[in-house]
Each structure stands twice: as structure tokens, then as C-alpha cells.
Amino acid sequence: MSTIWFVITGVLLIGVALTGTVLKRLPLTTSMFYLAIGAALGPWGANLLRVDALDHVGMLALLTEIAVLISLFTAGLKLRLRLRDRRWGPAMLLASAGMALTVGGLALVAAIGLGLPPAVALLLAAVLAPTDPVLASDVQVEHEHDADPVRFGLTGEAGLNDGTAFPFVMLGLGLLGAHELGPSGGRWVVVDLLWAVAAGLAVGTLSGAGIARFVIYLRRKHREAVGLDEFLALGLIGVSYGVAVLIHSYGFLAVFAAGLSVRRVEREHSEVTAPADVSQVAASSEEQATHPETAPAYMANAVLAFNEQLERLGELAVVLVVGAMLAGVTSPGPGLVMAAALFFVIRPLAAALTLWRSRFSMPERAFIGWFGVRGIGSIYYLAYAVAHGVPEPAARVLADITLVVVASSIVLHGGTVKPLMQWYSALKRRPRLATRAG
């Protein structure tokens, strides 16, 4: 069986490489393609890929954790605007107030509409609440100089809320007796909410900035530490995530903050370099890797290019597994109810309420409200919850609903992203609707 997987993997990778340009012309996304292939390889088809969310929870948690970490670091590297830039405002609001509104709305639907116990309903809401930095790449910033306010807001939200969802997950686990909340929830407020968020951001900021500055110093002053930027990328992810988890903070936030810090250091050192020159130096020679003016951009862009390739491999692996796991869903009805409530009611309302004072036009708010893509982050939180002691009856319900919601998002958002992106591009060309979010 292992030999046939070499053949399948090879054919699949070659097929993806050869059909990439074809998929760009079709109303399909790569995630939709991977989902179909995963279903075909699973019990619905060839029965070669058999994965169950409960039986293989360790593997699922590790696979999705790696994919999300790579994507979060990539998202951070793409966001080059200063933190005081007003375009950060919508992203932060969506990842905080928008997250809370989404969790509350989903919990109500799960408890009242599906009849789930309150603790299970809250945990399910927390699992489904975060938008995804992996599968939403088509609506996020395209490169580090893309400052489009809508794309920037969606990218920043996805980078932040994979961490800001964690307090709600821990609260749900605590209400189920699988996590210590402390008297009157005091421990949850102090440790899981305040400390874990602040410390995670601090660890990522310090590690990303410190390592980036040290590498730039070595390259500029001593022409050392040149090459192997792939190791630098993986090392930064590992250090920031590992230290954050060791001090009981949120590693996802740390990795995103590390990516932001690397880009911030690059921007600070490249102020005199024209944007066009900065964006091209990643393909330059070793001389530009050590030149005082181009070394920062060379480092940041080389790391970004490597991470983007890893991100595509992570998307392929996880979505294949999701496609295969759909065959194990015993009752898709509750998942479809949650998907409909989330995508057509809760997400649009949460985005509208959160952004009602922003400078986005109504069509732009509707665009943001629709593209609350759910994906690999939700699968990770599902695996995390199951691994931390959720009873099996509740765990099976969580797994079935989460898989259906993620698959629905891949199909719904994947099928609409290209026509709606064309619409948005046309919208931006209309001067009276061109806005700057704030």
C-alpha cells in the first residue's frame, strides 16, 4: 500500500503543477480540486485514504497545526503597513469584536436550533468562528506591497483570529470539565485571555525582530549567514511557536507576530529603497543578499517565497484529508444548518456591525461579510478539542458539523471568489466608491 502512495502522490503533484494555469481560468479554486480528489481517494471512491477525525486525532492535529503555522507566518510577512496605519483598524475589529459576535451567534444557533448542550454549543462556535489564512488566499493581499484595504483587512483578520479564537475554545473545554477555569472563571480571564494573548504577541514580536536584525547585521557587516533562508523561516516559526507554548501563551499569535516583525524590520531598513526594487531583490544575486541597502528585502522576500510554497503543500495535504473524512459524516443536516446560518446570516451581520463606522462602502462591507472563509484552522481546533478530552458523543457531533461547514466553505467561497473578485476589481475603478478603511 505504501508503494502505491508514492505513485499517487507523484501523479497528484505533477497534475497540480500542470493544471495550475488551467484552474486559474476556470470558476474553481485549488481547494475545490483537492477536496474532490480527497473524496475520490477516500471511502466514497478508491478507499485508499481512510482517516477519521476521532481515531486519527493526533495525526490530524499535527498536520493542521503545521499548515496553519506556515500560513500565519506567511500572512505576517505580506503585511507591510505600519501598525499605526488606519487600515489595521478593520482587521483588529474583525478579529476581536467580530470574533465575539460570531461565537455568540453560532452558540445560539447550536444551542437553540440544534439542541446542543450550552458547553458543547460554545465549543462548536469557537471551533467554527476563526476565518482561515490558508484557504482564503484568493481574497487576501497578493504581495507585500498590496495595501488594498479590503484585502488587507481580510488578511489581518485571518492572521489574528486564529489566535483570538483560542480563549473561546478554552472556555468551552472548561465548561465541559476538560480545562481548569478557576473560581468564577478567574483563571480563564487572567491566563487564557489576558496573559496568553499578550504574551503570545510579545514573544512573536521579540523573536521575529531580534532574529531578523541579527541576520541583517551579519550579512551587512560580515557577509555571513547568507543562503539557507528556508532554514531561517522554519527556525523562526519553531522558536516563536515553541517559546510561546512553553510559557502558556498562544503560539498562533506568536508566529503571526513574528512574520509581522520580520517585515517591519525589513521596512525600517528599506525606507530608501523604491518599492519596485524591494519586490525584486529576492531573485537577485548573493551580492544583493549582503548589500547594506538590499539585504533586508532580500532576506524577507526569500523567506516569504519559501513559505508560500510550503503553504501550498499544506493546503494540498489537509484538504485531501478533509475530502476523505467527509465519507465518515453520519448526519450532514446539522452541519448544513450551521453553514447556512454562519455564511448567510451570522458572518455578514457580525462584519456589518463591526465595520459600521469604518470608511468601507456598503458593497465592500458585503464583500468582507461574505468572504469569512472557514478551513484548516477550524479542523485544527476540532482536533485540539478532541485531543483534550471532549467526550466521544459530543466529539462526533463536533467533527461532523465542522467537516460539513469547512467543505461547504470550500465549495461556496471557492465557487464565488473569481466572479466576485472581478466585481470587486471593477468596483475599485469607480472613483465614488473607492475608499480607505479606517
CA–CA distances in Å: residue 356 to residues 116, 143, 153, 418: 32, 28, 14, 26
pLDDT computed for residue 352 by the predictor = 95
pLDDT computed for residue 286 by the predictor = 65
Chain position carrying cell 541579527: 214
3-state secondary structure of 173: helix
Residue 330 covered by a domain: yes
- The rounded distance, in Å, linking the Cα atoms of 400 and 380 is 14
- The rounded distance, in Å, linking the Cα atoms of 405 and 336 is 7
Residue 22 covered by a domain: no
Residues 393-399: contacts with CB under 8 Å, at least 24 apart:
394/117, 394/120, 394/123, 394/176, 395/53, 395/54, 396/54, 396/330, 397/116, 397/120, 397/124, 397/334, 398/120, 398/123, 398/124, 398/127, 399/53, 399/54, 399/329
- The rounded distance, in Å, linking the Cα atoms of 342 and 411 is 14
- The rounded distance, in Å, linking the Cα atoms of 49 and 71 is 25
Task: Specify the CATH number for the domain of residue 221.
Answer: 1.20.1530
Residue 41 covered by a domain: no
Single-letter residue type at 344: F
- The rounded distance, in Å, linking the Cα atoms of 438 and 161 is 19
Residue 77 covered by a domain: yes
Q: What is the pLDDT along the chain (438 residues), one digit of tens a residue?
A: 578 888 988 998 898 888 777 777 777 888 999 999 999 999 999 999 999 999 999 999 999 999 999 999 999 999 988 888 888 999 999 999 999 999 999 999 999 999 999 999 999 999 999 998 887 778 888 887 888 899 999 999 999 998 899 999 999 999 999 999 999 999 999 999 999 999 999 999 999 999 999 988 888 887 777 777 888 889 999 999 999 999 999 999 999 999 999 999 888 877 644 444 444 444 445 666 666 677 778 788 888 888 888 998 999 999 999 999 999 999 999 999 999 999 999 999 999 999 998 889 899 999 999 999 999 999 999 999 999 989 989 999 999 999 999 999 999 999 999 899 888 888 877 765 444 444
3-state secondary structure of 252: helix
| Sign of the alpha-carbon torsion through 312, 313, 317, 323 | positive
pLDDT computed for residue 278 by the predictor = 43
Single-letter residue type at 20: G
What are 193's three cell numbers?
485571555
Residues 65 and 380 sit within 8 Å (Cβ to Cβ)? yes
Neighbours of 429 (CB within 10 A): 8
Residue 13 covered by a domain: no
Neighbours of 3 (CB within 10 A): 7
- The rounded distance, in Å, linking the Cα atoms of 383 and 116 is 19
**Among 196, 165, 192, 194, which residue's Cα sits nearest to residue 178?**
192
Residue 33 covered by a domain: no
Q: What is the largest CA-CA distance in the chain?
A: 65
pLDDT computed for residue 426 by the predictor = 85
3-state secondary structure of 117: coil
pLDDT computed for residue 292 by the predictor = 67
pLDDT computed for residue 216 by the predictor = 87
Note the residue count of the chain. 438
Helix axes 88-108, 149-164, angle to 10 degrees: 50
**DSSP code for 134:** T
Residue 438 covered by a domain: no
Number of domains in the chain: 1
CA–CA distances in Å: residue 40 to residues 49, 183, 326, 376: 9, 50, 11, 20
Chain position carrying cell 502512495: 5
pLDDT computed for residue 279 by the predictor = 47
Domain that holds residue 76: 52-433
Residues 72 and 133 sit within 8 Å (Cβ to Cβ)? yes
pLDDT computed for residue 365 by the predictor = 94
Residue 37 covered by a domain: no
3-state DSSP helix/strand/coil percent for the chain, to nearest 5? 75, 0, 25
